[in-house]
């Protein structure tokens, strides 16, 4: 029995895809790397996932887990002749426990669906990536996703109590659990952010938080990016940690107004979208302090959401910004570097200078509160060679690293930035990471070619070769 027949026997004919027409939508995510898998299988239970992984192991074939395919770092690209294991049928919210403030869910649950399910209980799941309308909990766990409210509440790793995971040999293991501070080695923080290289998560126990008593959301307006960035640093420096603090520049403001009639202030060179939460008195005090800091930094006014509907419109505008930019250019390269907050103004100036030198329009819309930059290069792939776009992107990453930053804040490393890891980590660091991975997957068959440089199976992808050459050519 060949592998396809065995997969069919496990999951049923309708849940195994193998023709070129069926596979084409699985050969890419939201990034640039493309490669078709040898097959796609959609199991319906943890037992089926385990049986699929065992079948692939027996056939000597690698396995790539995939959620909604919204990733931006090539984390679900099937290097070599891997099969893709889709979690789209594993979408049950198994339990919500209001007393323990926890939920048990399968990896295919959409982030926003979970938010809506727990809200009637007076609870919420803090991680809220901009893709939350479509990204799934499994993918959020795989990349340690963040979002605007990570400033106050932390990323996904701070909200996962435990996971059930299928290991590389097909066995099902549990790490952590519903209780807090279980004995033994805490492997959960290692699994969160491992991008499917340690196994396939089939269930997760998630920490829920009580909805705040009061929420105040407002815009602070600035003449330019530098002034807004300095204000954001001053707010944190004053000991104020808002629930969220996002920056949007003039390019993005104009695109949002044109695309969605967002009614954002056209006169602003940049704006901060700030949200504070807590007791009414606490929020009133913090808003007043933030407004004073913004005015002292050169801001020229604030605009508050007066109703829940107005608040929702502001957040909808922020989370649809990526889509709105398609009105300017049909293609874009979205970055994910993190730098110290005090370095944000000079790094953004350098980023914009790089884009101008290459002739690209750049837009900035990012989590300024924690220094997680998302500069976006806008271009037209029909006329702009992808090699030049990647060259500019590598220079942007190098600027961030040289400023004391990191390659990724929430999108992951994947296939996009694995070759740049030696810019940040010493050989001894990378070797320790490899040994940790080998403890879970000694044969390297779980999502090969991701995170660590030099992994096999991806060298035939043209964009991977370009990035390898750039990383080696710019390394110092």
- Torsion on CA atoms 246, 128, 352, 465, rounded to nearest 10: 170
Helix, strand or coil, per DSSP, at residue 272: strand
Q: How many residues does the chain have?
A: 476
User: What are the sequence ranges of the domains in the chain?
Assistant: 3-86, 93-210, 214-314, 325-474
**Per-residue DSSP letter, 299:** -
pLDDT of residue 31: 86
- At residue 455, the pLDDT reads 65
Look up the pTM and report it: 0.95
What integer pLDDT is reported at residue 342 of this predicted model? 87
pLDDT of residue 475: 63
What is residue 80's predicted lDDT score, i.e. its pLDDT? 86
CA distance 171 to 85: 16
pLDDT of the chain along its 476 residues, tens only? 699 999 999 999 999 999 999 999 999 998 889 999 999 999 999 999 999 999 999 999 999 999 999 999 999 999 988 999 999 999 999 999 999 999 999 999 999 999 999 999 999 999 999 999 999 999 999 999 999 999 999 999 999 999 999 999 999 999 998 877 778 889 999 999 999 999 999 999 999 999 999 999 999 999 999 999 999 999 999 999 999 999 999 999 999 999 999 899 999 999 999 999 999 999 999 999 999 999 999 999 999 999 999 999 999 999 999 899 999 999 999 999 999 988 998 999 999 999 999 999 999 999 999 999 999 999 999 999 999 999 999 999 999 999 999 999 999 999 999 999 999 999 999 999 999 999 999 999 999 999 999 766 788 888 898 998 999 888 65
Beta strand 172-176 pairing with 160-166: antiparallel
Q: Give, in words, the CATH class of 325-474.
A: alpha beta
Q: How far apart are CA 319 and CA 178, in angstroms?
A: 31
Question: For 272-284, b where at least 16 C-beta lie within 10 A, e where not — what string?
Answer: bbbbbbbeeeebe
Separation of alpha carbons 332 and 31, rounded Å: 9
List C-alpha distances in Å: 432 to 85, 322, 439, 463: 28, 36, 11, 27
Domain 214-314, CATH class in plain words: alpha beta
Pairing mode of beta strands 39-41, 83-86: parallel
Chosen CATH of 93-210 out of 2.40.280.10, 3.30.465.10, 3.90.600.10, 3.30.450.370 = 3.30.465.10
DSSP track, 400-440: HHHTT-BS-SSS--TTTSGGGGGGTS-HHHHHHHHHHHHHH
The DSSP string of 104-147 is EE-TT-BHHHHHHHHGGGTEE-----TTTTT-BHHHHHHHT---
Q: Do domains 214-314 and 325-474 have the same CATH topology?
A: yes
Distances (CA, A) of 270 to 122, 265, 290: 34, 9, 16
From the CA atom positions of the chain, what is the Rg in Å? 22
Pick left, alpha or beta for residue 340 (phi over 0 → left; psi -120 to 50 → alpha; otherwise beta): beta
Q: What pLDDT sits at residue 32? A: 85
Instruction: List the one residue out of 324, 353, 386 whose CA is nearest residue 130.
Output: 324
Residues 6+ apart with CB under 8 A from 454: none
Neighbour order of strands in the sheet with 270-278: 302-304, 214-222, 270-278, 244-249, 361-366, 375-379, 331-334
Structure tokens at 383: 């006329």
Q: Which two tokens stand for residue 437?
A: 């991975």
d(CA 318, CA 130): 8
Helix (H, G, I), strand (E, B) or coil at 249: strand
8 Å CB contact between 152 and 167: no
**Domain 3-86 coded CATH 3.30.43.10:** yes
């Amino acid at each position: 029995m060949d592998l396809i027949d065995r997969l069919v026997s496990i999951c049923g004919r309708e849940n195994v895809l193998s023709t070129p027409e069926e596979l084409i939508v699985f050969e890419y995510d939201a990034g640039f790397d493309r490669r078709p898998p040898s097959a796609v299988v959609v199991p319906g239970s943890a037992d089926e996932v385990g049986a699929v992984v065992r079948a692939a192991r027996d056939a000597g074939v690698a396995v790539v887990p995939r959620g909604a395919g919204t990733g931006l770092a090539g984390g679900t690209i099937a290097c070599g002749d891997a099969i893709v294991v889709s979690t789209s049928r594993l979408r049950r919210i198994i339990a919500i426990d209001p007393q323990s403030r926890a939920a048990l869910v399968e990896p295919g649950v959409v982030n926003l669906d979970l938010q809506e399910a727990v809200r009637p209980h007076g609870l919420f799941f803090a991680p809220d990536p901009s893709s939350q309308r479509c990204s799934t909990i499994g993918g959020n766990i795989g990349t340690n996703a963040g979002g605007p409210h990570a400033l106050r509440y932390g990323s996904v790793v701070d909200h996962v109590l435990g996971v059930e995971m299928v290991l590389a040999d097909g066995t099902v293991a549990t790490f952590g659990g519903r209780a807090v501070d279980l004995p033994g080695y805490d492997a959960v923080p290692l699994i969160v952010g491992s991008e499917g290289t340690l196994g396939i998560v089939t269930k997760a126990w998630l920490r829920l938080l009580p909805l705040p008593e009061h929420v105040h959301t407002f815009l602070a307006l600035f003449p330019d990016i530098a002034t807004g960035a300095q204000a954001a640093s001053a707010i944190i420096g004053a000991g104020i940690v808002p629930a969220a603090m996002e920056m949007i520049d003039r390019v993005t403001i104009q695109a949002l107004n044109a695309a969605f009639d967002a009614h954002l202030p056209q006169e602003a060179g940049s704006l901060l979208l700030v949200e504070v939460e807590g007791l009414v008195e606490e929020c009133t005090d913090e808003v007043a302090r933030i407004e004073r800091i913004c005015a002292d930094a050169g801001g020229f006014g604030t605009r508050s959401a007066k109703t829940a509907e107005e608040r929702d419109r502001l957040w909808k505008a922020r989370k649809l910004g990526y889509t709105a930019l398609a009105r300017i250019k049909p293609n874009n390269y979205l970055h994910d570097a993190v730098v110290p907050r005090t370095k944000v103004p000079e790094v953004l100036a350098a980023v914009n200078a790089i884009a101008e030198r290459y002739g690209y329009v750049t837009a900035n819309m990012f989590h300024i509160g924690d220094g997680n930059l998302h500069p976006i290069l806008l271009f037209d792939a029909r006329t702009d060679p992808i090699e030049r776009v990647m060259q500019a992107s590598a220079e942007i990453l190098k600027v961030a690293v040289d400023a004391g930053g990191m390659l990724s804040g929430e999108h992951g490393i994947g296939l996009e930035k694995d070759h740049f890891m030696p810019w940040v980590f010493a050989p001894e660091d990378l070797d320790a990471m490899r040994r940790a991975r080998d403890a879970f997957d000694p044969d390297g068959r779980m999502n090969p070619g991701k995170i660590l440089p030099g992994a096999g199976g991806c060298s035939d992808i043209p964009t991977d070769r370009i990035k390898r050459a750039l990383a080696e050519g710019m390394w110092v």
